[in-house]
Each structure stands twice: as structure tokens, then as C-alpha cells.
Structure 1
């Protein structure tokens, strides 16, 4: 099974997170191949140059040959490239596991938090684009932690 791992890759924190999570996925089963774009030096070694077409061609080739997409949705807004990858995967009916670990999603039953949503400028919950979430849910699932992500991947093995 081939998995395309979609997340930002420009900040050190993202690259380190990606390495740790992809290592967990790879250790699940020797039959899992994971494409992690940051490992593709032809397009992501920023000391070199790859134009937008080369980047799109390389990543599209890998995404379109994948059986499953894991898309990290965290950040102030999800990474633009991840949103594009979700759209392409949805259009090609490739299943998607969205991973959204933002701590602000907790406490959805707290009456004070629920009341605050009605006040201008007060939203104690994180927002994520509903259209993109809808695309994921129509052809996959959204989970809120790495263990749940691994459990969902197991269902596809």
C-alpha cells in the first residue's frame, strides 16, 4: 500500500513532526510505502531550484499513484499545498485521513465556551475550512490524534 503524506514542510517543526509520524507509519507494516514530499530532493532541496510545474508534476505523480492520503490539517490555517492535495485526492476518489490535533477543539460541551461563540470576537474553538473538511469526510475521515490515524491506516491494510 502506498500512502501520500501531506503536510507543510518549510518550518523545522513541520519537518521534524513529519519525520516522526511517517516513521510510525512505516514501522506499522513492511508493505507500506510512504511518499513524504520533503524527502524528494529533486523538488524540495531549497538550495536547488525546481519551478512550480516541476513541483506539481512530481507531487501529482506520487499522489495519483497512492492508495491513501494522510493530510495534516493543523496550523493557523492548513497548508495551502495540503488543501490542494486534498482536492486532487478527492477528485480522483483516493481515500483521505485528515489529522487535526489542534487543542482548541477540546471542551465542546463546556457551557461557557459555547456561550462565548455568540460574542463578537470570542471563539474559543479552532476554525478549519468546512469545504475542505467536507471533501475529506465524503471520501475518508478526520481524526484528532496520531494513534487514531494509525488505527485508520490499519483498516486499509
Structure 2
């Protein structure tokens, strides 16, 4: 059994859709619930919004590269990725971020607060199987972070 222990406050990356006020408000609620326990990289706040960067005068390609670099660097320096899996299909950016974090060996936790799915078999197996744990509420995410538990991951047992 391998146990992850932190000499510092753990870091999380919140992978979530952020394209309207409702999504950004939900993401901010998740972040504020976790903030006392874990440092959270919130892309809409910490990585920059593509539309705002372009509106401020940054060329589109530069803005794309800026957002991409900040986000992948934040995933690489995080201990855990929290992926919001809501909707009939999972947001394509969330899917990429989840796959990237999984490939880096990060602990990946899914948050699915609704029961909509496109397929009768549920969400895409590449998304579901990338998550070491899937919870159904913000309170459950906070509980996982507050009370470390063993979570099966890639044949090992990781204690977070």
C-alpha cells in the first residue's frame, strides 16, 4: 500500500465547465467549500477566461496558449483533480483535463450531481474509468478531503 502524505496543504485542480454565470457560480461554490482544507486552482479565476483575455486585446492564439499553459501547469502541480461530470455529456475541456491528470498519476475524483446521460450505459467509460472515485454532492467532496480514506487507484491503494 502506498500512502500519499503532504508536507504542505494539498492542491486541487477543479475541472469544470465555465461558460456561463450559472456554471461559474457553481464552481465558486465548490471552491469555497473546499478552500479551508485544500488549495484550489479555479481555472475561471486563476487561469483566465479566453473571452475576457481576447476582449482585453490579447490576440486569440496567444490567449489560447496562455489559458492552455496555465491550466496544464496547474494540473501538473496538483495532488488531486476534481472533475464536474454534470450534463448529458461531460464538457470536452473537463474530459481532456481528467485524462491528462489521470495520465500524470493524479488522484481523480468525479462530481456528478445530476442523472442526465446521453447513453443508456452511462457516461463514456474513458471518463468514468479515469475517476478513482465519483461522488454526488459538494458535501461528499468536502468529506473526502476532510477525512482521508483509501481510494483504489491503478492497482495501488492511495490514502488521501
**TM-score calculated relative to the size of structure 1:** 0.75
Q: Which protein has greater RCO, CA pairs closer than 8 Å, 6+ apart?
A: 2
1:142 equivalent in alignment to 2:134: yes
Match of 1:6 in 2: 15
1:53 is displaced (CA, Å) by 2.3
**Higher strand proportion (structure 1 or 2):** 2
| Structure 1: tracts of 5 or more residues without a match | 106-122
Q: Secondary structure at the match of 2:72?
A: helix
Among 53, 63, 66, the residue aligned to 1:48: 53
The change in CA–CA distance for 1:47 and 1:12 in structure 2 (over 3 A counts) is: same
Runs of 4+ with deviation above 6 angstroms: none
In the alignment of these two chains, the number of paired residues is 132
For the 8 Å contact 2:88–2:116, the answer to whether it is kept is: no
1:63 equivalent in alignment to 2:75: yes
1:56 is displaced (CA, Å) by 1.4
1:38 is displaced (CA, Å) by 0.3
1:12 is displaced (CA, Å) by 1.0
Per-residue deviation, residues 97-133 of structure 1 (Å, max 9, x unmatched): 101111459xxxxxxxxxxxxxxxxx8x683112210
Structure ID, larger Rg? 1
Match of 2:5 in 1: none
1:76 equivalent in alignment to 2:88: yes
In 2, Cα distance between the equivalents of 1:126 and 1:13? Answer: 28
Q: Secondary structure at the match of 1:51?
A: helix
In 2, Cα distance between the equivalents of 1:99 and 1:128? Answer: 12
**TM-score calculated relative to the size of structure 2:** 0.74
